[in-house]
């Protein structure tokens, strides 16, 4: 049985963040994920998680300042001048994950700064991932590395599954796996089903959105019924994160899930 989590950075955004947990539970989800929790008090977040009876699946390591994120910054893990900041962020993320019972953290590589070669950026990323995977593992938390497409995130260092897996190999940690975002993969490489079939053991988390537009399944070109049937056949047992921008209201955008996979929303 496939299991779906609500990405509450995108879903239920009409509500204050702390109220989105209850909204996700009311919609039938058993788990949530989100981009960043760091602007909120850990105890307040833990209370929202506890009262909603939801599982927190995943969120990102700190990826720079909120102002940088708003301007398109997508991480600092490849910046040689921000290694100390990255390491402090890992410790912060682990503290939040431990408070929320979250089992996975995602690393965004970022864009190499001007004047930094690709080789230097990759070497910095590999070293940072070795540190983060080791520290997270001590707390029983699994680390993810996610490729982002270079249309939405120009210059992003890791933009394909193959490149991410090569970096993961270079890191050499059993506590680092691929976060496979179907939307980014469709934009950059396609071949979704074959990748899922052949790389399943290396995938730690899956996220979905349709293309173009990054809206809910059924609004674009991806054959999600077929994709889901394949995930079921190959016995994917992780969560599938609904990380899409609703084309209408959040509630209306969930009609695809209720129609196709109603048992997954049974609570």
Catalytic residue positions, numbered: 146, 243
Query: Six-digit token pair at 80?
Result: 């040689």
What is the rounded CA–CA span in Å between residue 6 and residue 217?
14
Q: Pairing state of beta strands 31-33 and 55-60?
A: parallel
CA separation, residue 117 to residues 87, 123, 184, 204 (Å): 21, 10, 24, 29
Instruction: State the Cα torsion 50-54-58-63 to the nearest 10°.
Output: -50
What is the rounded CA–CA span in Å between residue 203 and residue 222?
20
What is the rounded CA–CA span in Å between residue 109 and residue 93?
16
Q: Pairing state of beta strands 239-242 and 3-7?
A: parallel
What is the rounded CA–CA span in Å between residue 109 and residue 122?
9
Closest-CA residue to 129 (of 86, 73, 85):
86
Instruction: State the Cα torsion 107-111-112-113 to the nearest 10°.
Output: -120
Q: Do residues 205 and 241 make contact, with C-beta atoms less than 8 angstroms apart?
A: yes
Angle made by CA atoms 199, 74, 187, in degrees to the nearest 5? 45
């Amino acid at each position: 049985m496939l299991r779906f989590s609500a990405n509450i950075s995108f879903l239920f955004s009409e509500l204050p963040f702390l109220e989105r947990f209850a909204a996700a539970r009311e919609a039938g989800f058993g788990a949530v994920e989100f981009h960043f929790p760091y602007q909120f008090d850990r105890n307040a977040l833990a209370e929202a998680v506890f009262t909603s009876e939801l599982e927190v699946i995943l969120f990102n390591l700190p990826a720079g300042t909120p102002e940088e994120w708003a301007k398109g910054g997508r991480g600092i893990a490849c910046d040689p001048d921000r290694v100390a900041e990255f390491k402090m962020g890992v410790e912060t993320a682990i503290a939040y994950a431990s408070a929320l019972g979250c089992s996975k953290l995602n690393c965004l590589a970022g864009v190499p700064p001007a004047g930094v070669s690709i080789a230097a950026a990759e070497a910095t990323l590999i070293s940072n991932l070795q540190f983060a995977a080791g520290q997270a593992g001590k707390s029983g938390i699994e680390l993810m590395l996610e490729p982002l497409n270079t249309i939405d995130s120009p210059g992003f260092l890791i933009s394909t599954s193959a490149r991410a897996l090569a970096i993961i190999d270079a890191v050499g940690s059993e506590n680092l796996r691929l976060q496979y975002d179907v939307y980014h993969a469709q934009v950059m490489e396609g071949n979704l089903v074959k990748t899922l079939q052949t790389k399943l053991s290396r995938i730690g988390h899956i996220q979905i959105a349709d293309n173009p537009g990054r809206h809910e399944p059924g609004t674009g070109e991806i054959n999600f019924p077929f994709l889901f049937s394949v995930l079921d056949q190959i016995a994917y047992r992780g969560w599938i994160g609904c990380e899409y921008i609703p084309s209408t209201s959040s509630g209306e955008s969930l009609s695809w899930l209720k129609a196709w996979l109603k048992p997954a929303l049974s609570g």
